[in-house]
Amino acid sequence: MKLQTFPGYTFLNGGVCAAQGFKANGVCCGLKHQALSDDTVTEQNLAANNALSDDENTPKKNDLAMILADCPCHTAAVYTTNKVKGAPILVTRKHLKNGLAQAVIVNSVNANTCNADGEQKAAKMCELAAQALGLETEDIVVASTGVIGQVLPIEPIRDAIPTLVEGLSYDGNKEAMQAIMTTDTREKQIAVKFRLGKKTVTLGGMLKGSGMIHPNMATTLTFLTTDCAISSEMLQLALSDVVRVTLNRVSVDGDQSTNDMVCIMANGMAGNSEITNDTADYAAFRGALYAVMLNLARMCAADGEGATKLIECVVSEAPDEQTAETIAKSVIESSLFKSAMFGADANWGRIACAMGYSSCNYDVNKVSVDFASEKGRITVAENGCGIPFSENKAKEILLEDEVQVLISLGDGEAAAVAWGCDLTYDYVKINGDYRS
Amino acid sequence: MKLQTFPGYTFLNGGVCAAQGFKANGVCCGLKHQALSDDTVTEQNLAANNALSDDENTPKKNDLAMILADCPCHTAAVYTTNKVKGAPILVTRKHLKNGLAQAVIVNSVNANTCNADGEQKAAKMCELAAQALGLETEDIVVASTGVIGQVLPIEPIRDAIPTLVEGLSYDGNKEAMQAIMTTDTREKQIAVKFRLGKKTVTLGGMLKGSGMIHPNMATTLTFLTTDCAISSEMLQLALSDVVRVTLNRVSVDGDQSTNDMVCIMANGMAGNSEITNDTADYAAFRGALYAVMLNLARMCAADGEGATKLIECVVSEAPDEQTAETIAKSVIESSLFKSAMFGADANWGRIACAMGYSSCNYDVNKVSVDFASEKGRITVAENGCGIPFSENKAKEILLEDEVQVLISLGDGEAAAVAWGCDLTYDYVKINGDYRS
């Protein structure tokens, strides 16, 4: 996937460790997909199973990550809008009431959601992490991702924390990244540096997310760190604003997760004068956040479960941004359109169809549709009707692994972009038996 | 698929020909999926292509159907809510302003939608049918289904109408049924008879629909005929009311078609005293319509593109019907849940997730979830949390080809049912290159 670049911002490696003063680590504590079957209901059973059934020859995937800042951070977060919320979300929300945190603990495999003891377990994770780090429980952000409705065994996490803490390092972002992945096939992390006056500021992050991804929410687990000095209020403002035009415009399958959270920590170590208002410095900071999150959003869509290609839908000449956004999302969410993209089939009628049921107000007779990719650009509809085009050229364009659908409403100057992917056999395969 | 029966109503064969006084027929006129490529844009080319390229050994599928009543009928219809409407919908709506019609002409393969000359072509189909039948153009209902955005060649239709009319018969429902099928794998037609006073009344119909199927609309092409004497107004009332609780609660893929129409014609030949008010006779008629449309809805979901099983989601103990309906639909529309059903995986967390993003107001801590089929019933969640259950038993239940998801909200007495199917490799395969 090509990175989208922005003048004034230089891309760096390092993810959550790119900014100064942030350590990270990830380990395999041995969490498992474990159904609540009659035979294995107790935590003792789960723990025993975890301890015993590992084949020494099976490579272990990290499932527990930690991020630690050198000092307390202004911290902001955005959470899923799903009514059913993972227990970690409820706990993190409490801990972030004062806008401060210093560390994150996060596990994959088990979402710790729809469990009677979920909140208690999420609080316990914070307590154990705080003890090991010499912090207050309230300074810890906790998150979980994985199967919903299975009791989270605390023992493997408790037992792994000493190793996790011991291994924290200023370049541990890769271990942490791997620990939060579930069906993700690629690591998704990036960072940028930029100037604020005479200071160099860095902002980076990592994102986990491949399925159960939908707009209108925070989408997936994303952890961002920066050494910028910025107040909690302005941090929250920037995060909410940028999530709206990045992660909230990504859809893989229309399913909104129960556990999604985007969290950003700012430790102020860059030494810039603290951003506390909507100034030029704030605009520069927001630009950095946009550069990071836009690219994470595109990586997320490109690595959608089973996806073979990234689809970017641009709706322009719209009467307002909301109309453009709603139509762009409706198109990238259409299963029929997504299946056609998998087949590199220029069946633009499905785009017209998805636009039509978006409940937006627009003139169907002014719509034009183009397809574009590295191989060129082709117009397939004008004034709401099909026009002659070369099927061979269209196929060539659509066979690329990054495809743009360019829709003009011919009725204004607003625009919006949404990102999605194709619907493939592998999506069904991955989700036909995710738990096993 | 098992038929759902109702006391007082006897199921019959015969579809749209079951009621007295209705003939039908279907023929293959030779419409083709034909892209608007540079090489084949003219109708002359299309017609030539239609005439020349048929391999004599290829079995021809019917693509043009007609229904003819012995006398003018009170007629009612419900149309797609998609903003992009097929040209035939616009023409039919005009023709049904007076609540009367006597014949239907309908083609598959080409949807005649998003074409500059669409309305003109749809009107021409009515004109040609009317001429051949000795009727007024306004007495004809027209419908099309197939690929959107391709010019409809009128010549194959014009040339086939004499044969189509000549072959009309009182048991031609099977030929007509086959002509309206696209990716449907099974014929979907049914009829019931019931008593109104001393008269026997019959009502039957056929439904086409497999993909691009979604609630909140009429869903697919459905043609119903009855010999009941009933006013156009009461016919419309019954149709709109029954569509709401049957076809509008079916989802295959969340895509709302541009061409959907449900049309019912009543010729009054049963000789009952005409239903003009909300009487007991009306209730009996509505019951017949419900019996037919409920079973057509279930057939539609069971034959969803690529489906291996019918999924019925029943939400009960809800505070109101709207809440129950919205939650039931949200569950059957979830790609993740549908993929799990394909894998017979009792991953009920995805149900909790889909309920949570339905935007309904309910208490997540009072929810219980059961799975049921011919193989039994199992509870997997209570009070919003997972409970111990046998994975083996759950798998056995979910491997059946009709599965029920039973959700209780524990907070009222309202209920609603929605129907869907699993998401499979074949859905992707069918839709990856539908046009070729």
Beta-carbon contacts below 8 Å between A and B: 243
Chain B hits for A428, CB-CB cut-off 8 Å, are 339, 342, 423-425, 427-428
Q: What does pLDDT average to over chain B? A: 88
Mean pLDDT of B292-319: 90
CA distance B387 to chain A (A): 6
Q: List the catalytic residues of A.
A: 219
Tell me the whole-structure pTM to 2 decimals. 0.79
Is the CB of A82 less than 8 angstroms away from the CB of B356?
yes
Interface test with A, best of B89, B220, B257, B336 (most A CBs within 10 A): B336
Confidence at A34, pLDDT banded by 50, 70, 90: low
Residues 62-91 on B with a CB inside 8 Å of A are 81-85
Contact B389 A38 (CB under 8 A): yes
pLDDT in tens, A64-113: 999 999 999 999 999 987 888 899 999 999 999 999 999 999 999 999 99
Residue A212 is predicted with a pLDDT of: 54
Tell me which residues of chain B, numbers 162 to 201, contact chain A at a CB-CB cutoff of 8 Å.
none
**pLDDT tier at B327, thresholds 50, 70, 90:** very high
Q: How far is CA A238 from CA A120, A152, A224, A287, B355, in A?
A: 32, 34, 12, 9, 30
Residue in B114, B182, B217, B364 to test binding to A, most A beta-carbons within 10 Å: B114
Query: Would you call A432 and B350 a contact, using CB atoms and an 8 Å cutoff?
Result: no
Q: Is B365 on the interface with A (CB under 8 A)?
A: no
Bigger pLDDT: B60 vs B345: B345
Residue A73 has a pLDDT of 98
pLDDT confidence of residue B42: 40
Q: Scanning every residue of chain A, which has its alpha carbon at the shortest distance from the alpha carbon of B367?
A: A114
**Which stretch of A162-176, A233-247, B228-242, B301-315 has the lowest confidence by average pLDDT?**
B301-315
Tell if the CB–CB gap between A364 and B84 is shorter than 8 Å.
yes
Instruction: State yes or no: is B137 an active-site residue.
Output: no
Task: Please write the tens of the pLDDT for every residue from A144-202.
Answer: 998 888 899 999 999 999 999 999 999 999 999 999 998 788 899 999 999 999 999 99
Query: Are A253 and B336 a contacting pair at CB < 8 A?
Result: yes
Q: Which of B149, B254, B336 sits opposite A335 (nearest CB)?
A: B254
Please determine, for residue B356, whether its predicted confidence score (pLDDT) is greater than 90. no
Residue of B327, B342, B347, B430 to mutate, testing the A interface (most A Cβ within 10 Å of its Cβ): B347
Q: Calculate mean pLDDT across residues A327-353.
A: 88
Q: Which letter does DSSP use for residue A137 in this model? A: G
pLDDT score at A254: 58
Top pLDDT among B303 and B77 is at B77
Query: What is the structure's pLDDT at B184?
Result: 83
Q: How confident is the model over A289-320, as pLDDT tens digits?
A: 999 999 999 898 888 777 889 999 999 999 99
- The A residues from 266 to 305 touching B (CB cutoff 8 Å) are none
Q: Is pLDDT above 60 for A405?
A: yes
Asked if the C-beta of A388 comes within 8 angstroms of chain B's C-beta atoms, the answer is yes
Name the pLDDT band for A36 (thresholds 50, 70, 90): very low
B406 CA: distance to closest CA in chain A (Å):
17
Residue-wise pLDDT for B45-72, tens only, equals 344 344 333 444 556 889 999 999 999 9
Q: Give me the pLDDT at residue A434, please.
A: 52
Out of A163-177, B28-42, B410-424, give the one with best mean pLDDT: A163-177
Higher pLDDT, A36 or B228: B228
**Chain A: nearest CA to B155, how far in angstroms?**
20
**Chain A residues with beta carbon closer than 8 angstroms to that of B212:** 336, 353
On whether the CB atoms of residues B175 and B24 are closer than 8 A, the answer is yes
Share of chain B above pLDDT 70, in %: 89
Q: How far is A52 from chain B (nearest CA, A)?
A: 21
Greater confidence (A340 vs B154) lies with: B154
Chain B contact for A59, CB < 8 A? no
3-class SS letters over chain B: CCCCCCCCCEEECCHHHCCCCEEEEEECCCCCCCCCCHHHCCHHHHHHHHHHCCCCCCCCCCCEEEEEEEEEEEEEEEECCCCCCCHHHHHHHHHCCCCEEEEEEEECCECCCCCCCHHHHHHHHHHHHHHHHCCCHHHEEEEECCECCCCCCCHHHHHHHHHHHHCCECCCHHHHHHHHCCCCCCCCEEEEEEEECCEEEEEEEEEECCCCCCCCCCCCEEEEEECCCECHHHHHHHHHHHHHHCHHHECCCCCCCCCCEEEEEECCCCCCCCECCCCHHHHHHHHHHHHHHHHHHHHHHHCCCCCCCEEEEEEEEECCHHHHHHHHHHHHHCHHHHHHHHCCCCCCHHHHHHHHCCCCCCCHHHCEEEEEECCEEEEEEECCEECCCCHHHHHHHHCCCEEEEEEECCCCCEEEEEEEECCCHHHHHHHHCCCC
Pick the catalytic residue: B92, B113, B202, B219?
B219
Q: Does A35 contact B at CB distance below 8 Å? A: yes
pLDDT given for residue A220 in this prediction: 81
Tens-place pLDDT, residues A353-400: 889 888 899 999 999 999 999 999 999 999 999 899 999 999 999 999
More confident residue, B211 or B330: B330
Q: What percent of chain A has pLDDT over 70?
A: 89
